[in-house]
Amino acid sequence: MATCTATVPNLTTSGDDLYGPRICWQPFVDWAWDAFDFDEGDWDDGFGFNSVCDNTRPLSRTLSGVWCLTYSSPNFPRESFDSNILEWGCRFARNAIDELDARCGSNDGVIAQTRWGPIVDNWTRLFLPYFFGQGVSLRAGTLVHEARHADGKGHDSGNSDSSWGFNGAWRWQVAWLAWFAFEGQSSSTAMRAQARQRANVIINNNFDIHPGFNV
Amino acid sequence: MTNGNVATDTLNVESGGRPFDLSATAWLVGQAVTQLNTEGKNGEHQYAQTTRLLRDCKDAKDTIISLVSQTKGADHPMRWSLLYVLGDVADLSAADFLVDLAVSKLPENQTQCCEGPRDSELLIRTMAVEALVAIAKRDVSAAGHLLKLVKQQPAQPILIEATKAAIALGLRDEVAEILPNEAQWILDIRRVRCDEVQADPERADTGERSFTPPNQAKLATAPSVICAKQEGE
């Protein structure tokens, strides 16, 4: 057990002023709680279980990421795997992630981590930099990345993927961010521009063989 | 559920500061940042008007740079937004600041996990390059600073951003001369739309979607009982 302290960053620039009011809607909270298997014991003690609409708390800020992942496609409520990842990303993530937990995290600034495999307890853990260090659209992208791991696909070259063709977590994150940047609904210029830039940073940094394009 | 009988973590949160209260110009910068983070065409229009006003403020550049410097390290979205505004407001005199920021030292690579502080800092430096491009589009003499940036051989994602930008500003030959042989491949990076950026879900649709999300409240067209009651009171 750890005790940690976080300074809440500006709520406008993180997108929490835009998305926070949207998640403050009981049918959405009820749905997301079950769909991503949140548990009270993982989200109480200051993480927001008792104040789900408080956008200074990790639970609200995580639900904003889930909202962005769920409702940003212009084709919602369609979630067909025949279409692009902006459409089916949430469907995949909620079915792949076994449970979503909040933790303080370590001092090295890791954003999220997923454990998967037979026999062991499977989980996805989100840490302070996930809640307080990145905007809402990037939080949604991280959920896609971790969901790919929860599905059993790790990285095949350290923390990198060997190639675009490996079809790993980095490619999935890039694809979701790129589609969000071009077609994401109900968002701001800042959220879309950050998504495009983050997609390019990943393309240019996290593949052993550069895919040969930027978005 | 992971915790079982094991106690989990406890979090205390503290409020951040009010950086835009420092001066009238800082307040106007705050307005630009707010509009940048607002949904829709109205926000875009108001952002354009606010940055136009800021361009007439003599202390706008220094105020924004001061705000960037004062912003605590973990508040990456704030620093990013300030740099975005700087690109739309400042003149050539901001170019050295942006180059220095773009090439500044990055945290080490993550060893434990996928995403970490280096990724957030790379995003800040990427925005610094894009801010420099925005300035160069208004004052072509700023384009030379992109070449200066390439010469300093920053981390690969920043080198690629600077090279792309230099090419877009018509400096392909100049940047090709500067890039070392092993980095010449960067010149051939294509810019694509999202249609060419697909992930393969490796599964087909079945009847079972599992946990179908609720329709958004705003999509409901029926009148709200609560509003009707308030109107009748």
Q: What is the pLDDT along chain A (215 residues), one digit of tens a residue?
A: 899 999 999 999 999 999 999 999 999 999 999 999 999 999 999 999 999 999 999 999 999 999 999 999 999 999 999 999 999 999 999 999 999 999 999 878 899 999 999 989 999 999 999 999 999 999 999 999 999 999 999 999 999 999 999 999 999 999 999 999 999 999 999 999 999 999 999 999 999 999 999 99
- Whether chain A has a CB inside 8 Å of the CB on B21: the answer is no
**What does the pLDDT read at residue B8?**
85
**B228 has a pLDDT exceeding 60:** no
**What does the pLDDT read at residue B4?**
45
**Nearest-CA distance A53 → chain B (Å):** 15
Q: What is the ipTM of this complex?
A: 0.96
A175 vs B197: CB contact, 8 Å cut-off? yes
**B211 has a pLDDT exceeding 90:** no
Strand A123-126 and strand A100-102: the pairing is parallel
**Window A:37-56, CB contacts with B under 8 Å:** 39, 41-42, 44-47, 56
Could you tell me the pTM of the whole model? 0.94
Residue B216's Cβ-count burial label (10 Å; 0-12, 13-18, 19+) is middle
With CA atoms as reference, the chain A residue closest to B85 would be: A190
B12 vs A6: CB contact, 8 Å cut-off? yes
List b or e across B25-35, with b for residues whose CB sees 16 or more CB atoms inside 10 angstroms: bbebbbbbbbb
**pLDDT band at residue B225 using 50, 70 and 90 as cut-offs:** low
- Whether chain A has a CB inside 8 Å of the CB on B182: the answer is no
What does the pLDDT look like over B163-186, one tens digit per residue?
999 999 999 999 999 999 999 999
Contacts of B227 (CB under 8 A, 6+ apart): none
Please give the Cα distance from B13 to A108 (Å, whole number). 19
Residue B125: name the closest of B142, B140, B105, B109 by CA: B105
Residue A43: name the closest of A123, A105, A112, A102 by CA: A102
A10 vs B9: CB contact, 8 Å cut-off? no
Beta strands (DSSP E) in A47-180 are 100-102, 112-115, 123-126
- Whether chain A has a CB inside 8 Å of the CB on B119: the answer is yes
**What does the pLDDT read at residue B233?**
44
